[in-house]
């Protein structure tokens, strides 16, 4: 089966990969820092949230975008009925994700369970929790399951991978391996080391996208080259970021050129890591369309040809996302 014919799980059901169009693999629609839903001074107006997100998705589509992957996992604001209605009304395909991480984002159920002693969850339990979101559908907490997750997403801690982060990485890798879904890893402090953990679970590197590789520490370490060399996808996923943590768009263009020039053009993915609506934390309010309206012209202007651009925006995600 070629990737073009493979099916991708969107919130409205499986869609042939060939229909995805331009895909942004690391974005957030409704992003809620866990706990913020109970804050006394935060009130979410559901209609207003819908209007905000619909406008951003429509804008993305108007700039040529086809698919948004909400890669925030199962407990950072994911709202499936909202995403279904958004996809229906805007025509943008929405892929939602299972998974969670890093450790700080986890509820006590996973970290200090009501057992004696309170041993944190092992990889196997995370694997089962995530895999069932692919095979049985994603959960609306304590209510129902909806459509299948299209991606397993996890992350390690910026201060360094904890024991529970490692359980998350291994559990997410097992869920990806068992269900055929792709795996997204936002690295903590050691991108190659985090990738090695999931490869140790025998997940083929071609099923993995490593995010955050346009962070300055990753670039300094040459992680983008090593990740691509191992065969995993390199997500330069903070397009537009201009801060102390991340390289500039100019440097990002150079990274794309370097990887393409080294024969890794089939391993590059681009995304903005925007938060369509952010609750309880600062968020990234750059439009999803920034990738297409600002960055791609910059990339083209610096000499990356149309075929390479199309490969990065359309072909690479079309290879990654279908369940294998």
Partner 1 sequence: MSKVNTVLGPVAAEELGIVAVHEHIGYGMPGSELDTRWWKTPEERYAETVPKLRAFHRHGGGTFVDATGICNGRDVDYYRSLSAKTGVHIVACTGFVGGDTALPFFARASVEYLTAQFTHEIAVGIGSSGARAGVIKVGVSRGGRMTALDKKIYRAAARAAVTAGVPVLTHLAIDAEPAVAIFNEEGLPLDRVLFGHADDGVNHDKTRHGWIAAQGGRVGFDTFGYETELADPPFWARPRKDRLNHLLSFMSDYPGKALVSADANCSPLGWPGVRGHTVNYIFEQLIPDLAEAGLSATAIRRLLADDPADFLTIRN
Residue reference for tokens 């706990």: 35
Nearer to partner 1, 42 or 307 (CB): 42
Among 45, 114, 220, 244, binds partner 1 (CB under 8 A): 114
Which parts of the chain are beta strand (E)? 7-10, 13-16, 22-32, 65-70, 93-98, 139-140, 144-145, 151-155, 182-186, 208-211, 233-236, 268-270, 275-279
Residue 174's nearest CA partner among 122, 117, 243 is 122
Among 7, 12, 36, 85, binds partner 1 (CB under 8 A): 36
Residue 67's nearest CA partner among 295, 324, 292 is 292
Among 111, 254, 257, 294, binds partner 1 (CB under 8 A): 111
Q: Looking only at residues 175 through 194 of this chain, which bind partner 1 when binding is defined by CB under 8 A?
A: none
Q: Is 74 in the site for partner 1 (CB under 8 A)?
A: yes
Q: Is 280 in the site for partner 1 (CB under 8 A)?
A: yes
Segment near partner 1 (CB under 8 A); pick from 36-44, 198-206, 207-215, 228-236: 36-44
Among 45, 47, 116, 306, binds partner 1 (CB under 8 A): 116
Interface with partner 1 (CB under 8 A), residue total 35
Nearer to partner 1, 123 or 309 (CB): 123
Among 142, 202, 282, 301, binds partner 1 (CB under 8 A): 142
Segment near partner 1 (CB under 8 A); pick from 55-63, 137-145, 182-190, 296-304: 137-145
Among 1, 38, 202, 244, binds partner 1 (CB under 8 A): 38
Among 28, 57, 96, 139, binds partner 1 (CB under 8 A): 139
Q: Is 172 in the site for partner 1 (CB under 8 A)?
A: no
Q: Decide: residue 202, CB within 10 A, 0-12 exposed, 13-18 middle, 19+ buried.
A: exposed
| CB 151 within 8 Å of CB 174 | no
Which parts of 141-293 are beta strand (E)? 144-145, 151-155, 182-186, 208-211, 233-236, 268-270, 275-279
Among 39, 242, 262, 307, binds partner 1 (CB under 8 A): 39
Q: Is 156 in the site for partner 1 (CB under 8 A)?
A: no
Cα distance between residue 284 and residue 155, in whole Å: 18
The number of angstroms, rounded, from the C-alpha of 3 to the middle of its chain's C-alpha atoms is 19
Query: Least distance to partner 1 from the beta carbon of 79, Å?
Result: 14
Q: Is 47 in the site for partner 1 (CB under 8 A)?
A: no
Measured between alpha carbons, how far is residue 33 from residues 49, 74, 298 in Å? 16, 12, 33
Tokens of 109: 């159920």
Among 2, 5, 35, 180, binds partner 1 (CB under 8 A): 35
Cα distance between residue 37 and residue 15, in whole Å: 32
Residue reference for tokens 């499986």: 14
Nearer to partner 1, 58 or 157 (CB): 157
Measured between alpha carbons, how far is residue 44 from residues 51, 96, 141, 247 in Å? 12, 21, 18, 34
Q: Is 46 in the site for partner 1 (CB under 8 A)?
A: no
Segment near partner 1 (CB under 8 A); pick from 12-20, 29-37, 213-221, 294-302: 29-37
Nearer to partner 1, 174 or 264 (CB): 174
Q: Put residue 15 in one of left, alpha, beta given phi > 0 → left and psi -120 to 50 → alpha.
A: beta
| CB 288 within 8 Å of CB 24 | yes
Contact residues toward partner 1 (CB under 8 A) are: 33-36, 38-41, 43, 74-75, 104-118, 129, 132, 139, 141-143, 145, 280-281
């Amino acid at each position: 089966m070629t990737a073009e014919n493979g099916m991708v799980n969107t919130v409205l059901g499986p869609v042939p990969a060939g229909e995805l169009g331009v895909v942004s693999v690391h974005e957030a629609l409704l992003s809620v820092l866990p706990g913020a839903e109970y804050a006394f001074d935060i009130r979410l107006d559901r209609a207003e949230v819908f209007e905000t997100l619909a406008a951003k998705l429509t804008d993305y589509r108007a700039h040529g975008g086809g698919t948004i992957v909400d890669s925030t996992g199962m407990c950072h604001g994911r709202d499936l009925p909202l995403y279904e209605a958004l996809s229906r009304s805007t025509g943008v395909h929405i892929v939602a994700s299972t998974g969670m991480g890093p450790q700080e984002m986890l509820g006590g159920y996973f970290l200090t369970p009501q057992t004696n002693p309170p041993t944190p969850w092992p990889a196997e339990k995370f694997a089962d929790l995530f895999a069932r979101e692919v095979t049985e559908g994603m959960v609306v907490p304590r209510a129902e399951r909806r459509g299948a997750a299209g991606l397993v997403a996890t992350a390690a801690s910026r201060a360094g991978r904890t024991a529970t982060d490692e359980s998350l990485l291994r559990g997410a890798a097992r869920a990806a391996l068992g269900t055929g879904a792709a795996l997204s890893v936002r690295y903590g402090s050691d991108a190659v080391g985090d990738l090695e953990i999931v490869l140790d679970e025998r997940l083929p590197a071609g099923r993995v996208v490593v995010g955050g590789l346009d962070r300055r520490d990753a670039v300094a370490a040459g992680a983008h080259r090593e990740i691509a060399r191992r065969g995993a996808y390199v997500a330069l996923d903070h397009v537009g970021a201009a801060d102390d943590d991340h390289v500039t768009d100019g440097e990002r263009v150079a990274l794309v050129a370097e990887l393409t020039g080294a024969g890794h053009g089939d391993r590059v993915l681009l995304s903005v890591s925007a938060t369509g609506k952010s609750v309880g934390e600062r968020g990234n309010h750059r439009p999803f369309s920034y990738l297409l309206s600002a960055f791609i012209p910059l990339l083209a202007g610096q000499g990356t040809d149309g075929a390479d651009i199309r490969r990065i925006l359309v072909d690479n995600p079309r290879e990654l996302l279908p369940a294998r």
